[in-house]
A = this chain, B = another copy of it.
Amino acid sequence: MDVTTSRPQPPTAPFVRLFGRYLREQGLPVTQQRQAVAEVVFGSDEHLSVDDIEGRLRAEGDRIGKATIYRTLDLLVRSRLVAEHDFGEGFKRYEHRLSRQPEHEHLICTECGAVHEFKSREVQEIKREMSERFGFRTVRHKLEMYGLCRSCQEAGVEPEEDGLTCPIETI
């Protein structure tokens, strides 16, 4: 593969090297499998499932066992270079935290599965309030909005209703 040809994303090599540095700091071997998994994760701006990662590795000719992928993702998450997400699909997704806003929230379209990221200053406010009011020290948080993205609404999809005919008051 010609590294000099144009790439859609910034080069991933420096990020992979950063992961290598983390491994060395921890006294762990920098293996080619670990580098290959890191390359895939840092080379995409999507929220990848383990199957996605396995597929992309295979597409590049790498045949890496799922167990190794899981073990490597564990290291990537521990290094704080990668974030793990559970969007309630029954499996986890992974996204790297480099070269874009490391802290962001998610908009998830329940129709087409599209994931959009956004920043929210309100969350900082909430953290402060929780500290003041309850003495709670927030270490991490999760803010996800589930609904319909613009294009699914324009395609005529409606959010499905259910529940008791006499609804519980909401808000």
Tell me the A residues contacting B by CB distance below 8 Å.
Answer: 18, 21-22, 25, 78-81, 86, 88, 97-98, 102-103, 107, 109-110, 116, 118, 120, 122-127, 130, 133-150, 153, 159, 162-165, 167-171
Contacts and interface: CB of A to CB of B under 8 A. Distances in A.
26 contacts: A21-B164, A79-B162, A79-B163, A80-B162, A80-B167, A80-B168, A97-B168, A98-B168, A102-B169, A103-B170, A116-B134, A126-B143, A126-B145, A134-B149, A134-B150, A135-B150, A136-B147, A136-B150, A137-B153, A137-B159, A139-B146, A139-B148, A139-B159, A141-B144, A141-B146, A143-B143
A134 B167 CA distance: 29
B145 A138 contact: yes
A122 B118 contact: no
A79 B164 contact: yes
Contact of A137 (B79, B147, B162, B170): B147
Nearest to A114: B136
A170 B102 CA distance: 6
